[in-house]
Structure 1
Amino acid sequence: MGMLDKARDSAQSLRNKWAYRDTGSTVGTPAGKSGRSWVPNIEGVWLRRSAIILAILLIVYYPLGAWWTHKVDDNLNFEIQTEVLPGQSRAVAITADLIDREVNQNNWVANNPFFLPASILDNMPNFQKGVIAALARFSFELTDQLGRTRGSSEADSDLQSAAGLLQYPGDVWVWDPTVSLAPTATSEAQYRQAMRKLRTYNSRLAAGDATFQKRADNLLATLDRIALDIGSTSAVLDRHVLERSGFALDSQADDVFYFTKGQVYGYALILRELRRDFDALIVERELGDAWDELTLSMEQTVDLNPWVIIDGAPDSQFVPSHLSAQGFYLLRARTQLREITNILLK
């Protein structure tokens, strides 16, 4: 082959290489290698890693935070935390201390927004709302019965304020855009104010500037209202059992169970202290044994503490009905309350 042929072949080879070159190549980039920047690839890696880290944090944050916060405080030995002075009411003192414990010490969780881990809790907030429901009912009886001389006399201003404040819903946070764009009073702020009003009233009792009537008719009316409230709760239990029992996994059964548990717990402590407030009357009417039986039934209701609330049929052989068991003790306590009020009528 001559020199001319070799030169022609070399030129053809160069033309072929140019025709099939890597169009993504740039000056200084080897053939077959992409000329794209490495920065977007690094950004993608960091985005993926950040998403994984965020998911892990959420998985740890909510369960661990909820576990740390969770506390169904059903201690029946909880005692009054402050000194009760002569003339003061022990029932009023325990009411204020229960508010303080649930709102300030255990932290009120029923209104926690979604970004706090306790927002996923279910049993604790229902228990707390049940406790407050009992205290709210009793505060009405303080206003209407125990804290005034007669029905026609003026209601005590501190008791009236406390009763109104305890009616505030338990799930109100500082801001709810579905209601208003403006900030609002939180549930715990209202309950703290109610606690202060109750303690102010008790201080005035010690100073002789307020009234706490220890007559039989006042106690009878108060116990009657508590019995009615317990009866209303038993009706809720009964309706739930009739309409929804038979499904072992019932997402609403634990809500009803723990609300009832909290309500009965609140009443159990109030009734314990009312017995001490009305000790002379209870001895005079020989109510000690009946009150002991009432206390036992209330405590048995509170002591029900299954790991998982199961709403089986009442006649099920293998699947329990925890609401039916709770309702049994609740109705027993209501019957014993009626027995006490019948004795007071005589």
Structure 2
Amino acid sequence: MSDDFDLEPQPQPVAKTGWRRFVPSWPRSGSSDLDDGPSYTAAERSRIATALRWGGGVLLVLILLYYPIGAVISHKINDDPAFTAPAIPAEASQTVAMASALLDREVNGTTWPANSPWFFPGAILDNMPNFQSGEIQALQRVVTEFRDQIGRARGTSSADRALQDAAAYLNNQPDIWYIDLSRSWAPMKPSESYYNDAIKALNDFNGRLTRGDAVFERRADNLLSTLDRIGKDLGAASDDIDREIDEQSGSWFDLNADDVFYRNKGELYAYGLLLKALGQDFRQVLTEKGAVRIWDRMVGSMMEGAVLQPWFVINGETASMMQPNHLAEQGFYLLRARAQLEEITDILQK
């Protein structure tokens, strides 16, 4: 008998190697115990597919609702004309306190969508960022005037350090976020952080002013210089309105009209509150010059223009009876406030 056995070699299971180890086998109905993975019937596979479709649909709906609902929650135009700053000692500046309170409300009391990246719902907002940018422009002007004129002794002394810091912080653009490769490859300090630093600097100035360690020159020439520069800002805002009306009037869908409108609205609103406070700081000067009533009317004109808030900003034909022009309406109050401001400067020069 031969010792050789003619046995057919049995196939050996092949171990999965490399990337194949991580590729699951799609379960097959009726698979044997040697098949990889569990086995599913046709009905079970159908239920899994239905669940995946429903899950994908729900996820899509949530994504579609994320932006509009989030934007509605974030959107807030703070145009309350009765807004006041917290009470401060008589020696402190009402204008500086108002600047600090305005900043604090916009930066810490609401959202700041001007620098929101695309994955935040506030990124789709338009009117609120323009309104807040207009406020920042007015704050920059007033704080700069305090640094250069009102907060130093007749220009011969050095500028107050806190006012220097506040003006520098406010000079940063409102659309800076942590990451912006168009500006820098390194992480950045966002706009809100700069503005919070400005709040601290303004409060520091008022604290030292209360203790007698800072200067606040309540003179007519300082007030005159400040009003002159504010008047130039209002003139620039008026030019923006004129240009938009000249180029786009008559269009129901002027997509830039609301940008101009809300930027001017924010500027008028902030100037109205800041000048109201400035009138309290310079009440003695205004009383001596007989300018209190015209000052109050100027502030009132600014507030009338600031509280305008149509459902849609339309840049219609200026002579049309059916098509409004909200830019022209805003421009009326802006120019009236500017004319009253110029009247006050004439009074102060006498």
What TM-score do you get using the length of structure 1 for normalisation?
0.87
Which of the residues 326, 334, 337 maps onto 1:333? 337
Q: Using the alignment, how far apart are the partners of 1:98 and 1:36 within structure 2?
A: 64
User: How far is the alpha carbon of 1:152 from its aligned partner?
Assistant: 3.3
Task: Confirm whether residue 281 of structure 1 aligns to residue 282 of structure 2.
Answer: no
Which stretches in structure 2 are left out of the alignment for 5+ residues?
1-28, 33-38
| Aligned-partner Cα distance in 2 for 1:192–1:303 | 26
Contact 2:98–2:277 (CA under 8 A) maintained in structure 1: yes
Separation in 2, partners of 1:337, 1:278? 15
Which residue of the partner structure matches residue 8 of structure 2?
none
Alignment pair present for 1:163 and 2:167: yes
Give the Cα–Cα distance (whole angstroms) in 2 for the partners of residues 288 and 26 of structure 1: 94
Give the 3-state SS of the residue equivalent to 1:229 in structure 2. Answer: helix
Specify the alignment match of 1:237 in structure 2: 241
Unaligned segments of structure 1, at least 5 residues = 1-24, 29-34
Q: Is 1:313 equivalent to 2:314 in the alignment?
A: no
Q: 1:226 and 2:248 equivalent?
A: no
Select the residue among 171, 175, 178 that pairs with 2:179: 175
Distance apart, 1:212 and its partner CA: 0.7
CA distance in 1, matches of 2:137, 2:329: 21
Distance 1:220 1:26, change over 3 A: closer
Shift of 1:59: 2.4
Residue 317 of structure 1, CA deviation: 2.3
Match of 1:74 in 2: 79
User: How many angstroms does 1:177 deviate by?
Assistant: 2.6
Tell me by how many angstroms 1:244 deviates: 1.1
Return the letter of the residue paired with 2:167: A
**Which of 47, 55, 62 in structure 2 is aligned with 1:57?**
62
What is the alpha-carbon distance in structure 1 between the residues aligned to residue 248 and residue 337 of structure 2? 25
Structure 2 distance, partners of 1:194, 1:289, is 32
Residue identity opposite 1:99 in structure 2 = L
Deviations 1:82-130 (A, max 9, x none): x311310000000000000000011212111111112111111111111
C-alpha separation between the residues in 2 aligned to 1:108 and 1:283?
A: 39
Question: Between Structure 1 and Structure 2, whose CA radius of gyration is higher?
Answer: 1
Q: CA deviation at 1:318?
A: 0.9
Residues 50 and 180 of structure 1: is their aligned pair in 2 closer, same or farther, counting only changes over 3 Å? farther
Shift of 1:194: 0.6
RMSD (Å) for aligned C-alpha atoms: 2.1
Pick from 256, 259, 268 the counterpart of residue 263 of structure 2.
Answer: 259
Kindly tell me the number of residue pairs found equivalent between the two proteins: 316
CA distance in 1, matches of 2:71, 2:173: 22
Question: How far is 1:295 from its partner?
Answer: 1.8
Structure 2 counterpart of 1:251, one-letter code: L
Q: CA deviation at 1:46?
A: 4.3
3-state SS of paired residue (1:110): helix
Write the deviation string for residues 40-73 of structure 1: whole angstroms up to 9, x where unpaired.
7666544432331122102222211111111101
TM, length-normalised to structure 2? 0.86
Give 1:246 shift: 1.0
User: Hey, what's the Cα distance between the residues in 1 that align with 2:252 and 2:124?
Assistant: 21
- The amino acid across from 1:332 in the alignment is R
Tell me, yes or no, if the aligned pair for 2:283 and 2:292 is still in contact at 8 Å: no
Aligned counterpart, 1:105:
109
Q: CA deviation at 1:296?
A: 2.0
